[in-house]
């Protein structure tokens, strides 16, 4: 069977394929909330995973995520999709325990492609210290892959997106710009070094980020995925009742992303993210258009956003010892806007 480029089969890829947030919330916000005494955390605050009580001390934390490919190599695609799904558990302060595969697969592709995707996912789940125990597959003209992931935790160890306090410092653990680079790579306009860097970022688990954070007091946490830096910061600000101030000069940005943004290689999700939240965001007038693009850019398997005391944030970044892990701003008392960029 003739080899087919995975990215040629999709219109949008990775987390950029998420339904635009305005459309998503128009439906979710209209639905009745299903309540249970055992459901501690549902979708009300747009947190990364549900939290369900097992007993007085223990909880089950569960999430699900899948998307179409952003790379042509099926094994790498499997790795990225798995790392992205596992990330939601790390964002809650948990350790993944068990996972289920979710696979949509076209009949035009050789089954060896499916095997390589699943092997990529399996290797990342193994790296996370978890196991895959089954899953579900359907035939679909557009390939898609991801996981449903479950963790078991002590109730008092769960970190949500609603606990941020004024004067918390904000740490971002991965560089931004993945959506822009992936968009350019689809038309062979991204450099080899940029493609290498973005693949390394997307396939890196947030395991180290989470494990190191357990040494410190983390007030709130989330990961940066399809709604971009701005979208996920706004969810924390809304849930916590704070505003957030970001120093754009401190943002870690993947090599080549700013230049590619300057040339217009922007995913569709970048615009839908802006449409949804722009009225809650204030950009200082001297910030360049491409930096604004980076802030709205949908990320795939992005880093964690951690809200910590100043001294803990500084120690965390120093111990993490990676140029992509930086303090990017702080939470403040609630103001007229949710987010301020300077």
Give catalytic residue positions.
15
Q: What does 216-229 look like in DSSP terms, one character per residue?
A: S-EEEEEE--TTHH
The first and second tokens of residue 78, run together, are: 């499997």
* Whether 31 contacts 44, CB under 8 Å: no
C-alpha to C-alpha distance for 115 and 124, rounded to whole angstroms: 14
Nearest to residue 69, comparing CAs of 135, 128, 101, 117? 117
What is residue 5's three-state secondary structure? coil
User: Hey, how many other C-beta atoms are within 10 angstroms of the C-beta on 216?
Assistant: 16
Within 8 A by CB and 6+ apart from 87, the residues are: 48, 205, 206, 223, 225, 301, 302, 304
Burial 31-43 (b: 16+ CB within 10 A, else e): eeeeeeeeebbee
* Whether 220 contacts 14, CB under 8 Å: no
Q: Tell me which residue has tokens 């968009």.
A: 183
Nearest to residue 234, comparing CAs of 273, 277, 269, 287? 277
Pairing of strands 304-308, 169-172: antiparallel
C-alpha to C-alpha distance for 294 and 257, rounded to whole angstroms: 8
Nearest to residue 77, comparing CAs of 128, 136, 16, 143? 143
How many CA atoms lie less than 13 Å away from 137 in the CB half-sphere? 10
C-alpha to C-alpha distance for 47 and 54, rounded to whole angstroms: 19
């Amino acid at each position: 069977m003739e080899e087919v480029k995975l990215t040629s089969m999709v219109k949008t890829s990775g987390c950029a394929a998420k339904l635009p947030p305005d459309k998503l919330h128009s439906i979710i916000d209209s639905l009745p909330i299903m309540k249970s005494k055992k459901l501690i955390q549902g979708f009300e605050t747009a947190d990364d995973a549900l939290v369900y009580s097992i007993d007085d001390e223990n909880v089950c934390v569960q999430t699900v995520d899948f998307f179409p490919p952003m790379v042509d190599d099926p094994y790498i695609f499997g790795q990225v999709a798995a790392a992205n799904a596992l990330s939601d558990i790390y964002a809650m302060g948990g350790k993944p325990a068990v996972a289920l595969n979710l696979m949509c697969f076209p009949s035009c592709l050789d089954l060896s492609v499916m095997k390589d995707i699943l092997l990529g996912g399996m290797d990342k789940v193994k790296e996370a210290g978890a196991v895959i125990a089954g899953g579900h597959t359907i035939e679909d003209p557009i390939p898609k892959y991801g996981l449903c992931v479950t963790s078991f935790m002590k109730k008092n160890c769960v970190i949500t997106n609603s606990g941020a306090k004024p004067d918390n410092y904000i740490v971002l653990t991965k560089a931004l710009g993945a959506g822009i680079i992936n968009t350019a790579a689809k038309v062979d306009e991204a450099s080899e070094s940029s493609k290498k860097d973005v693949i390394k970022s997307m396939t890196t688990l947030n395991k180290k980020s989470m494990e190191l954070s357990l040494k410190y007091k983390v007030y709130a946490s989330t990961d940066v995925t399809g709604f971009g830096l701005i979208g996920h910061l706004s969810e924390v600000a809304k849930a916590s009742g704070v505003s957030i101030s970001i120093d754009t000069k401190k943002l870690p940005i993947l090599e080549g992303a700013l230049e590619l943004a300057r040339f217009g290689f922007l995913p569709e999700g970048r615009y839908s993210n802006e449409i949804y939240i722009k009225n809650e965001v204030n950009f200082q007038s001297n910030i360049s258009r491409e930096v604004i693009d980076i802030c709205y850019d949908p990320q795939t398997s992005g880093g964690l956003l951690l809200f910590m005391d100043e001294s803990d944030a500084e120690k965390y970044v120093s111990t993490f010892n990676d140029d992509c892990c930086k303090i990017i701003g702080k939470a403040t008392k609630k103001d007229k806007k949710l987010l301020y960029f300077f």
